[in-house]
């Protein structure tokens, strides 16, 4: 089984690669790519075959690259691992020869733009922090970049205490009241039709470098129900992850990413290696059980901490 993962310097891709490496039931060849030369990013040493890719901003070249790799390696499935790649793949679905599964381009592009996603979900009666048209009478607010990843593009300021604020008054940003409380990330695994088979909420306990470092797996029926509702509205096959803020019993949707989360490995550790189940369904076309079946395998209330291991590559000039 030949599986392709791109952008392999990212935590998203590394988590998927590590999960693939633990599968013993199938003979899996992991084909990785990134813009760096082999050895310049750790992921290049963790895959079976590595290709240096052109920047994804060069769309035509990137599509040709994917098709060339597919022809050479007979790729069974490409697992999208970045927001930019998800947008490109869904946009040029008819030009990419490699097999992959994503929502339609309209849906992928919607959730890439955090402002449009917020406005759209508001129309569908999903509670979100309101959008501030001006800052008069506001207290603590968050400036959010419309297109960004992790904690990049976020600026939080307490207007009652700050002597000055940075200038983020730009069309690329929008402003919302800052919601205090718990951050809950939800990892979702859905079938080809976008029907959820596994929904795992996890409360963030500690953050490092813009991503969750320590999390607690929580069985929250309200968040699970809201997540189901959103998935039913937009049909998101494969992996996605949602961010919520929970404050005094109020649940606020923050964002959704149509890919495996950078910290999604937490949910695998606290349940089972559902990357294997993903391959059985999306590559081997096996039928999945209902969600209740898989939810029984989650270790609820467990706390998971990320473990990082350093790699040293002996550089040899060509």
In this structure, are residues 259 and 219 in contact, taking their beta carbons and an 8 Å threshold?
Answer: no
In this structure, are residues 112 and 87 in contact, taking their beta carbons and an 8 Å threshold?
Answer: yes
Q: Edge-to-edge strand order for the sheet containing 303-305? A: 250-257, 238-247, 182-190, 196-208, 211-217, 303-305
In the chain, where the domains are located? 2-100, 109-123+181-305, 140-177
Tokens 């593009």 identify what position?
153
| DSSP assignment of 100-128 | -----HHHHHHHHSHHHHHHHHHHTT---
Cα distance between residue 120 and residue 116, in whole Å: 6
Tokens 């040293």 identify what position?
312
Cα distance between residue 92 and residue 85, in whole Å: 11
CA nearest neighbour of 252 among 153, 179, 173: 179
Structural element, H or E, at residue 211: strand 211-217
Pairing state between β 77-78 and 2-5? parallel
Show pLDDT as tens, one digit a residue, over the chain (318 residues): 999 999 999 989 999 999 999 999 999 999 999 999 998 888 999 999 999 999 999 999 999 999 999 999 999 999 999 999 999 999 999 999 999 999 999 999 999 999 999 999 999 999 999 999 888 888 999 999 998 876 678 889 898 888 888 888 888 999 999 999 999 999 999 999 999 999 999 999 988 766 778 999 999 999 999 999 999 999 999 999 999 999 999 999 999 999 998 889 999 999 999 999 999 999 999 999 999 999 999 999 999 987 766 666 665 444
Q: Which residues contact 23 (CB under 8 A, 6 or more apart)?
A: 273, 275, 276, 279
List residues bridging with 253 in a β-sheet. Answer: 244
How high is the pLDDT of residue 309? Answer: 64
Fold of 2-100: Rossmann fold (3.40.50)
How high is the pLDDT of residue 318? Answer: 47
Tokens for 198, please give them: 């596994």
Cα distance between residue 295 and residue 301, in whole Å: 13
List residues bridging with 238 in a β-sheet. Answer: 190
Q: Which CATH superfamily is domain 109-123+181-305 in?
A: ATP-grasp fold, B domain (3.30.470.20)
Between the two ends of the chain, the Cα-to-Cα distance in Å is: 31
């Amino acid at each position: 089984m030949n599986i392709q993962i791109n952008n392999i310097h990212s935590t998203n891709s590394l988590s998927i690669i590590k999960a693939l490496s633990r599968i013993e039931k199938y003979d899996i060849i992991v084909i990785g790519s990134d813009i760096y030369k082999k050895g310049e990013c750790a992921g290049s040493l963790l895959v079976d075959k590595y290709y240096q890719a052109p920047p994804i901003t060069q769309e035509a070249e990137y599509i040709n690259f994917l098709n060339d790799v597919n022809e050479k390696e007979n790729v069974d499935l490409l697992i999208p691992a970045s927001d930019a790649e998800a947008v490109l793949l869904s946009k040029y679905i008819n030009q990419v020869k490699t097999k992959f599964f994503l929502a339609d381009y309209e849906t992928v592009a919607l959730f890439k733009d955090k402002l449009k996603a917020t406005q759209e979900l508001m129309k569908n009666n999903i509670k979100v922090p309101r959008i501030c048209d001006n800052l008069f009478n506001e207290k603590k607010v968050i400036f959010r970049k419309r297109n960004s990843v992790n904690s990049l593009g976020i600026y939080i300021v307490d207007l009652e205490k700050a002597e000055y604020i940075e200038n983020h008054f730009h069309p690329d940003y929008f402003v919302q009241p800052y919601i205090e409380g718990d951050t809950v990330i939800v990892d979702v695994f859905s079938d080809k039709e976008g029907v959820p088979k596994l929904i795992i909420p996890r409360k963030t306990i500690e953050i490092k470098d813009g991503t969750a470092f320590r999390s607690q797996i929580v069985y929250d029926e309200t968040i699970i129900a809201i997540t189901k509702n959103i998935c039913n509205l937009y049909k998101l096959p494969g992996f996605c992850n949602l961010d919520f803020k929970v404050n005094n019993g109020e649940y606020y949707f923050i964002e959704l990413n149509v890919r495996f989360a950078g910290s999604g490995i937490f949910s695998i550790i606290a349940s089972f290696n559902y990357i294997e189940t993903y391959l059985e369904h999306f590559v081997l076309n096996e039928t999945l059980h209902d969600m209740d079946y898989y939810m029984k395998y989650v270790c609820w209330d467990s706390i998971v901490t990320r473990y990082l291991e350093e790699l040293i590559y002996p550089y040899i000039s060509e």
